[in-house]
Structure 1
């Protein structure tokens, strides 16, 4: 097994990683770090969430910062506020023991702009941002990205599916001459290929991590045959059996999410809802309760669950299967993170078996039936 020091990571960073319990590099870290430390290059990484991407791009990015300059030299763009906060926190922890301080600032919507403008007025070497808020700040002159040496796009496919295409194109048009772009995505839709073609070097290094596994192989896939009126009972029986486990139940609509959460709360289950119409304050409150385990289960829509990274989720439950294959990958990828195992369970009503068959062949996975 290769160690971080063999990959070329400086001792002070390794000490910080050790405190985070990051001892051995994951596959993506082992592949990507030597390339990005080696010589300036553009890079396209095809990788699922939960594979250790943050350290894979974060450590080489930190390594490239010249602390004698106050310029913003690194820019990381991610789809959700949660992911931005998480990346910024990781960078801060990695740098705990290094000599010169590297300053990273996180900016995202749902928070007062003037606080972020004040924070950016201090020395900032790396900005971690959601696309919309970053663009606002650039257009107001609150942040100068013309000297960025490295631009990282994390979960690029998520950003496009959340409607950030125009914002991303505007950001990508800045300072193309001077910078290297590192793009990470779990899937490669046409739009992502277009970004690669338009804004990245033709000789960009391409990395695919465990390419046969579109879905993390530590997840087991199951379905339960039921009908519409029995779904609620079925979910309660599943939760009863798993009282000390945590998970997420996915619904297709905001209204369905709210209704199911209320029904389960009414039955005494410790659940909270996450959906698009919630205020950011409520959302943060639910996420805090989920992280500190006073809530056992989240009921969520696809979009609202983006960027949630909570360790030790034992299961994902699909109230209905999603419309898109990619969504199944993203949903089930919330469990089995950091080398743990997890279960993905779909409730199937008559006539939906074909969907299960389609998912199996498209994603190369096998569903097993659970009978209750």
Structure 2
């Protein structure tokens, strides 16, 4: 019997690489996107959230399209944050452990631009980049996009909400020789629909993953009724009972995240905060310390948490519920990775019960009261 990924059009040498990463069966986005991208390779727009396996959904087909003997940049992946760009680059490298060597360079702010320019002198077939740093290096004539055949925009909605519209327009214009554009986005506001219209002359294939299929079934969804002034005490008691576990706490605003971090620190907990006002150097310092387990709990806003890649998180706490259903999926998907179990806890006041019911209905999940 053929391997599930072989049936989708992925060659055995790439399958051997992903098997070592624990990827044995395709997710829904992979089942729908990979056959089209490997066989046709035309324009694609896909609605898929974090945690659905979209890196493999575009990464594996891209690797089948690359000509390893060519020294030119043939594939370009654009991501909104440094963390996500590095995560994608790392995965592409791992996928090709047993296949013909494809060289990928990750270009993002916070790293030495001269070193990046020097690295691009070597044969490079795929570039993964954040928009600003890519344009800086193009301005330096360190690379050209004239040979790019496949352009992938990952988390397009987030790039536009971060103000990268002008940069994306420039990149699309410079990669005018491309054969196709593959756009992945968790949501499709008007700004993304306009981008689709601008970057795809031909009618794209459209894929949408049903919301009820995107939530990891290894996550236990809980809620607690808390007044605003009771939330910190609840969190403090929870952290004391789970002092050996690591997790994330999400706040809606950066001011709220900063305040909560100070309050929990004063209550004796080892926490730090990730929010939009941090410089890249400060952000990297926080993430290094968290990955090295110098503190147990990271407090973050939704935007600041995009692209972070931390394994073995036991829980996610929602200090406030997010406004959008997709954000709940993004948040809760940070736990229960690599076959592990996890808990997602929403702190709500009685008036928010309707919001819980909406999440249950739209995501096909059940909340248990704590």
TM (norm. structure 2) is: 0.90
In the alignment, is residue 34 of structure 1 matched against residue 32 of structure 2? Answer: no
Task: Identify the residue that residue 5 of structure 2 maps to in structure 1.
Answer: 4
- Taking the aligned partners of 1:162 and 1:175, their CA distance within structure 2 comes to 22
Aligned pair count reads 369
Query: 194-203 or 79-88, which moves further after superposition?
Result: 194-203
Task: Identify the residue that residue 154 of structure 1 maps to in structure 2.
Answer: 154
Which aligned segments of 4 or more residues in structure 1 are displaced greater than 6 angstroms? none
Shift in Å at residue 227 of structure 1? 1.9
Task: Identify the residue that residue 23 of structure 2 maps to in structure 1.
Answer: 22
Unaligned runs of at least 5 residues, structure 1: none
Contact between 1:28 and 1:51, CA under 8 Å: does it hold in 2?
Answer: yes
From the superposition, tell whether residues 354 and 209 of structure 1 become closer, same or farther in structure 2 (CA, over 3 Å).
closer
Contact between 1:316 and 1:331, CA under 8 Å: does it hold in 2?
Answer: yes
Task: Identify the residue that residue 279 of structure 2 maps to in structure 1.
Answer: 279
Shift in Å at residue 218 of structure 1? 4.5
Task: Identify the residue that residue 345 of structure 2 maps to in structure 1.
Answer: 345
Show CA shifts across 1:9-66 (max 9, x none).
2232222222222233333223322221112311122212112211221121112112
Task: Identify the residue that residue 176 of structure 2 maps to in structure 1.
Answer: 176
Secondary structure of the corresponding residue to residue 121 of structure 1: coil
Contact between 2:147 and 2:177, CA under 8 Å: does it hold in 1?
Answer: no
In the alignment, is residue 61 of structure 1 matched against residue 38 of structure 2? Answer: no
Task: Identify the residue that residue 51 of structure 2 maps to in structure 1.
Answer: 50
Shift in Å at residue 326 of structure 1? 4.0
Secondary structure of the corresponding residue to residue 3 of structure 1: coil
Secondary structure of the corresponding residue to residue 84 of structure 2: helix
Contact between 2:257 and 2:273, CA under 8 Å: does it hold in 1?
Answer: yes
Task: Identify the residue that residue 204 of structure 2 maps to in structure 1.
Answer: 204
In the alignment, is residue 106 of structure 1 matched against residue 106 of structure 2? Answer: yes
In the alignment, is residue 75 of structure 1 matched against residue 54 of structure 2? Answer: no
Contact between 2:80 and 2:155, CA under 8 Å: does it hold in 1?
Answer: yes
Shift in Å at residue 364 of structure 1? 5.8
Task: Identify the residue that residue 328 of structure 1 maps to in structure 2.
Answer: 328
Task: Identify the residue that residue 233 of structure 1 maps to in structure 2.
Answer: 233
Unaligned runs of at least 5 residues, structure 2: none
Secondary structure of the corresponding residue to residue 249 of structure 2: strand
TM (norm. structure 1) is: 0.89
Q: CA RMSD in A?
A: 2.5
Query: 116-125 or 168-177, which moves further after superposition?
Result: 168-177
Contact between 1:4 and 1:14, CA under 8 Å: does it hold in 2?
Answer: yes
Contact between 1:219 and 1:342, CA under 8 Å: does it hold in 2?
Answer: yes
